[in-house]
Structure 1
Amino acid sequence: MTMQPIFQQALGPAWDRLGDVIRRHYTMTPFSGDYVCVRGTMNEVWHAPWAALLMPFGRLFGALVPHQGTNVPIEVHYRCHPDDANLYWDRVFHFPGKPPFHFRSHMEHDAKQGSEVIEYVRFGIGMRLAVSAEDGAVVFRDMGYIWRIAGLRIPLPLGLFLGTASVEERPDPADADHFTMKMLLRHRWFGDVFRYSGRFHLGPRLGPQ
């Protein structure tokens, strides 16, 4: 059992090629109860008009942000649970005039996956993500969807409807404690489906909460 942070496990030696703020961001020890919060502003949260058809499913699985806006305040809470090796995320979007919207998920990695992690939302629905270090940034690329049930991982053809996702977090050269991020979900035929981007300040890592 390794006690390395989950993305260090996935990246191996490439972990050292990440920018300092990105490494500090994710230096959270499995089974520790470590906690980090980053706060920032989403410059844009956008989805294509037809993507409204997907929102009922997104709400069911807790996977899609249903609102749009600019300059949207956000905080993201990261936790390592004392009882497992996973990394838990709670993204809290503050759209004006609406209750805070939570997008919760967790990421898992095991030695058999190499540089791949799986991000799970509700009901065992997961997205396989290849992790890489590129010019100091951590980059995640969609490798397909799965459904985990009864110990099995069943491939799901959700990419036919949703498209392919990519996410990056990149050090901000103007400030050692800030980073930028962007997420893009793009369909090969229909173009951009979802996208958001923003800038964040990294708070201190805390012990068990």
Structure 2
Amino acid sequence: MESRSLFETVFGPDWASLPPVLRRRYAPRAGSRDLVLLKGALTITMAPWFEKLAPLIKLSRTLAPFTGENIPVVIRFSGEAGAEACDFDRSFLRPDGRTHRFRSRLTPYFSDEMVEYMPAGFAWRASYRLDGARIAISHRGYLLPLFGRLLPLPFDHLFGRVEAEEEAIDEDRFRMKMRVLHPWFGEIYSYRGEFTVARVERVE
């Protein structure tokens, strides 16, 4: 029996209703080395006070620690052989010509959720849900991987909540946006833009 996309179990019955471009975007099969290559551009904004923390953001090797419009971004979204996991590798071309790389790992968690393991040692838990023609990615909290367990971290009031969505434009393109919402300061970080599914490779 052919393995299914890692995200089929996350979306459940809604998988068949996803727009074709979003099914391709989430195509890597569980246990495979399938690759999806995305190319696009993002407009990145930060609250002025948050932008002053750019050196710390850079050390975390997560969010792009700079702002700008139409920042070129290449994403490699690939399966992991022998595991129910996806490698999420983003490369941002900075306005000064340097590249910022943000790499994380996604694994299923409960029926409609994924856990994203960050380079800084913590993880982010989120649900994925089809809402009309778009995918809503909703914050479910931060976690600490420790001795094979995932322990809840009370970091919402420190880091804020992360909310994102992706919406199909046509069979090859989709738009996306992400916001970090702090309970006291409102939106402190965001990006938005469009991506093209440039290549999908099935690797046994």
Question: Structures share a fold, TM > 0.5?
Answer: yes
Unaligned stretches of 5+ in structure 2? Answer: none
Corresponding position of 2:16:
16
Query: Displacement of 1:187 after TM fit?
Result: 1.2
Structure with the larger strand share: 2
Corresponding position of 2:202:
207
Give the AA of the match of 1:167: A
Q: Deviations over 1:119-164 (max 9, x none)?
A: 1112541111011001122221011100101112121122112211
In angstroms, what is the RMSD of aligned CA positions? 1.8
Q: 1:183 aligns with which of 178, 181, 190?
A: 178
| TM-score for both structures, normalised by structure 2 | 0.92
Query: Displacement of 1:107 after TM fit?
Result: 0.7
Unaligned stretches of 5+ in structure 1? Answer: none
Corresponding position of 1:130:
127
| TM-score for both structures, normalised by structure 1 | 0.90
After superposition, where does 1:29-44 map in structure 2 within 5 Å? 29-42=29-42, 44=43
Query: Displacement of 1:47 after TM fit?
Result: 1.2
CA contact (8 A) 1:137 1:168 kept: yes
Q: Deviations over 1:150-191 (max 9, x none)?
A: 11212112211221111111101xx32110000011112201
* Count of residue pairs the alignment pairs up: 203
CA 1:40–1:123 in structure 2 vs 1: closer, same or farther (change >3 Å)?
closer
Corresponding position of 1:164:
161
After superposition, where does 1:1-209 map in structure 2 within 5 Å? 3-42=3-42, 44-52=43-51, 54-110=53-109, 113-172=110-169, 175-208=170-203
Quick one: percent identity of the two aligned structures?
Answer: 29
Give the AA of the match of 2:77: Y
CA contact (8 A) 1:18 1:135 kept: no
Structure with the larger helix share: 1
